[in-house]
Structure 1
């Protein structure tokens, strides 16, 4: 239904925000605040570091995105979260989204249904709503129809 990106965030007062350009090596030197072990987002992040041959410094683990954002806002480290999840905080100046050279981690949100199942009127309405409204969301990229498994 939509395209999201995982973005690197830091507190506005964090020294990394003052660098003229930020590289993967720069963020690897900072303590990273991650979701609990086994989460799909954490696996994506760890895989990205591995793909670049860089070892990440794990500063702490948190239970969810809100906890991660609060820890970053408090200056305990940097993190990587959904771009959608930090729109409010970045807009209000509580967090800074960092542009990291060579770092792009898109993530698709898809609607998946069983191919032999009937769509109820409520499901059809939801699918129509999602297709029409997703393009209006910032960072959204709408597919023509849901993916069927």
Structure 2
């Protein structure tokens, strides 16, 4: 389905959200001069300056902030119109803007999204990934309609609901002395270098809270390295750099294929968490976002029962 939104407003929103003409050009697959010309033409039409360009810094003017607020609301309304018109023909169509924190983006969402698109081929998805803080920010700023995160959100600008249960498990190199043990005492974690996700990661937040409940303060542990993805932690463990906690969803295929790491149970320590769907505070999502939200809830129920 053709996009109903005015091209200049699309360019304006991209620059306003990125606060960068270069990044907006990359996002829209345009040249930077083309983006600049669109903004210049829009400013001339409105008779105001929308951006304050001081050196390499780009900031919205007061008029720019007003236009962005209205442009985001118009974008939502036009998307709803596209979805409603498509629904009149008995099918779903239009753009579906999603975001997911790293583990969900890599191991959970692709399968769900693939199944959804198989039944709705005219849907055009986009997906951004990052840690939990980044996805919460993207939902709150209406960059995406629906987000999926691994840790709790403290933002009042989003609503959240659980859709899938996850568990963090400890993995060690296959040659590690713990590899053949059925379980280890929780105090043993003080003796091994731990590979941790970066600050702002939902995985790290949940793990640190679980460890503190067992009186394992960060100061009593050896954090060998911070890594920005589950895959990086798996590779570092396989290389013998330490032990790490990762999602059970991230190792399902690895265990079937045979890998050079082992899962080790820790006495009394079970780190469970909810994967959450989030959307902007206010009215519940409508149209295509709502349809995908319902699909995820139904599909997650099937995965829990599998």
TM-score higher than 0.5 here?
Answer: yes
Cα distance between partner residues in 1 of 2:278 and 2:237: 33
Cα distance between partner residues in 2 of 1:20 and 1:115: 46
Deviations 1:23-68 (A, max 9, x none): 2112331110111234332232223222212322212221221111
Q: CA deviation at 1:132?
A: 1.8
RMSD of equivalent CA atoms: 2.0
Q: Which stretch of structure 1 is more off in the superposition, 70-79 or 120-129?
A: 120-129
Residues 69-80 of structure 1 mapped to structure 2, 5 A cutoff: 69-80=234-245
State the TM-score, normalizing by the size of structure 1.
0.80
Residues 1-149 of structure 1 mapped to structure 2, 5 A cutoff: 1-54=163-216, 55-94=220-259, 95-114=261-280, 116-137=282-303, 140=304
Give the conservation status (yes or no) of the 8 Å contact 1:90–1:97. Answer: no
- In the alignment, structure 1 segments of 5+ residues that lack a partner are 142-149
Query: Across the two proteins, how many residue pairs are aligned to each other?
Result: 139
Q: Which stretch of structure 1 is more off in the superposition, 78-87 or 112-121?
A: 112-121
| SS state at 2:251 partner | helix
Question: Which structure has greater helix proportion?
Answer: 2
| SS state at 1:136 partner | helix
Deviation beyond 4 Å, 4+ runs, structure 1: none
Deviations 1:43-99 (A, max 9, x none): 322232222123222122212211111101112111011111121222322132221
Cα distance between partner residues in 2 of 1:41 and 1:53: 19
Q: CA deviation at 1:115?
A: 5.6
* Largest Rg, 1 or 2: 2
Cα distance between partner residues in 2 of 1:105 and 1:118: 31
- In the alignment, structure 2 segments of 5+ residues that lack a partner are 1-162
Give the conservation status (yes or no) of the 8 Å contact 1:35–1:64. Answer: yes
Bigger relative contact order (CA 8 A; separation at least 6): 1
State the TM-score, normalizing by the size of structure 2.
0.42
